[in-house]
Structure 1
Amino acid sequence: MNFFYVLNGKSLKQVSLVVIAAFFTAWFLYMQSIVHLPAFSAKDGPKAIYKGEKDLALTFNIGWGDVKAEPILDILKKENVKAATFFLAGSWAERHPDLVSRIVKEGYEIGILGYGYEDYTELEEDKIRRDLAKAQEAFRKLNIKDIKLVRAPTGHFDKKTLKVAERMGYTVVHWSVDSKDWTNPGAERIAENVSKAKKGDIVLLHASDSAKQTAKALPLILNDVEAKGLKFVSVSEMIANAETKTNEIK
């Protein structure tokens, strides 16, 4: 027995509208996912980590300044935060050996934030390599060895950066939650920005002098994370213990 389905013009129009709407919804969600994934990999090549699967990683960039890093270390110690990752510029580390020593002594992880504040996407591979090598030497002189993590100084990177970093034995680390503390929007707003963090997120904060409100916001951030029942880990612990997510650089 044969069955035939007959669609009148009105029904066909309705089906077409549903299909078109579904297509544009899927496209919108796809484009939104691209916009909000802030780290990338070269296809079948080196990867940049921006997110894990569980726990939470606080990361602090320090590129310059003399007065904001120590108060942040004081708060972390007071609040008994045992794990955080500090990305330090080699030039800053050279000028602040005591603070670098304290970061290490208190059990926090160190990553490299280049040597000078340069946009790696605007540099040739050899210049990226030289900047990282200069930072590497600065940390070696401070007796800090086996650093495995790198963050691009301005946060901008491309395939060249990933390639150079991999050849030098580094993993590039980005972030999934930006506190925007460097814009100094107020401690409450900074804490609100970080309150979006969930398990597996890597949070960007700063301990450079340009971020004037981070220390004030930090207790609010720590209280919120504690209320969510999340555990603080270093970036290395996060990527060692969980799946990480990347998105391809085109």
Structure 2
Amino acid sequence: MQHFYVWNFNKGKKIFFIVSLALITALILSFEPARLFSTFSTDQTTALTKGNVNENKLSLTFNISWGEEKVYDILQVLKDQKIRATFFVSGEWAERHPQIMEEITKQQHEVGMLGYRYKSYLDQDIDQVKKDILHAKEVFKKLGFKEMKYIRPPSGHFDKEIIALAEQLELEVIHWSVNPNDWKNPGVNEISSMVVENASGGDIILLHASDSAKQTAESLQTILPNLQKRKLSFVTISELLTEVIANEKLVE
């Protein structure tokens, strides 16, 4: 049998309780150290979703798995604004577009991977996933990326088993905290507004550089200056992680 406990308050006591609880919560949060937000977080399995909320830094990330036109528009906007981002690229796409990979690295953007084939890892058994990741690592190594640190599972689909496998293969799973679904092309204003209104320190913004994302480059023209006006700066995933680790060491 399930037992439910109900607290009864008169109006005055209820208000006093709510206000007191809010004050206690605020005090706890004010003394809480900078932290790393993760999904499926245990001592052994973590996926980065958000960085240090106490710093005015956030990461702009782009997924790309097909096409070769829109990525140039995005790279040009980032170059004009002098912003470094992290590109998550499928091994299959990188293999077909080594010149674009060179341009991405030439502009000093960071590169993570989406595995080899852009196919949900939850639709494959774990051995297939392992083969896909190892194949991707080999492809990137041949392209000059000897130390791939980060992986974003295709479509953002993963579970604890996939995170554990990634860690076994010396990769960290990177998710996101702000997603305007720009690949659906809902409109430049909708993409821009969603990011500008929801992004804050520590966030990882998911955008796309595949040819399906027809409105992303134009949206960046609004997103970037508006976030900069709020004193937010853009860093790579590595820099976001470094900031978190440094703060964690300070409060140990």
TM-score, normalised to structure 2, is 0.81
Matches within 5 A, 1:1-250: 14=10, 18=14, 39-53=38-52, 54=55, 55-81=57-83, 83-195=84-196, 196-242=198-244
Q: Distance in 1 between matches of 2:245 and 2:239?
A: 11
> Once the two structures are superposed, what CA deviation does each residue of 1:169-203 show, in whole Å capped at 9, x if it has no partner?
00000001112101101111101111110011000
Q: Distance in 2 between matches of 1:13 and 1:152?
A: 49
Whether the 8 Å CA contact 1:89–1:115 is kept in 2: the answer is yes
Q: Distance in 1 between matches of 2:146 and 2:103?
A: 15
Q: Distance in 1 between matches of 2:141 and 2:42?
A: 33
* One-letter amino acid of the counterpart of residue 85, structure 1: T
Whether the 8 Å CA contact 1:119–1:156 is kept in 2: the answer is yes
* One-letter amino acid of the counterpart of residue 139, structure 2: A
Q: Distance in 1 between matches of 2:159 and 2:245?
A: 22
Bigger Cα displacement from structure 2, 123-132 vs 235-244: 235-244
> Once the two structures are superposed, what CA deviation does each residue of 1:89-119 show, in whole Å capped at 9, x if it has no partner?
0000011100101111111100011111111
Q: Distance in 2 between matches of 1:161 and 1:68?
A: 30
Q: Distance in 2 between matches of 1:69 and 1:97?
A: 13
**Identity in percent:** 42
Residue 3 of structure 1 is matched in structure 2 by: none
* One-letter amino acid of the counterpart of residue 100, structure 1: M
Q: Distance in 2 between matches of 1:106 and 1:147?
A: 18
Whether the 8 Å CA contact 1:180–1:193 is kept in 2: the answer is no
Offset of residue 14 of structure 1: 2.9
SS at match of 2:163: helix
Q: Distance in 2 between matches of 1:76 and 1:172?
A: 24
Offset of residue 168 of structure 1: 0.4
- Unpaired runs of 5+ residues, structure 2, are 1-7, 23-36, 247-252
Whether the 8 Å CA contact 1:52–1:243 is kept in 2: the answer is no
TM-score, normalised to structure 1, is 0.81
Q: Which has the larger radius of gyration?
A: 1
Whether the 8 Å CA contact 1:50–1:176 is kept in 2: the answer is yes
What RMSD in Å do the two structures reach over aligned CA positions?
A: 2.5
Whether the 8 Å CA contact 2:89–2:112 is kept in 1: the answer is yes
- Unpaired runs of 5+ residues, structure 1, are 1-11, 27-37, 245-250
Q: Distance in 2 between matches of 1:78 and 1:241?
A: 26
* One-letter amino acid of the counterpart of residue 114, structure 1: G
Offset of residue 210 of structure 1: 0.9
Q: How many residues are paired up?
A: 220
Offset of residue 39 of structure 1: 5.0
Residue 34 of structure 2 is matched in structure 1 by: none
Q: Distance in 2 between matches of 1:118 and 1:66?
A: 19
> Once the two structures are superposed, what CA deviation does each residue of 1:75-94 show, in whole Å capped at 9, x if it has no partner?
1111111x210000000001
SS at match of 1:128: helix
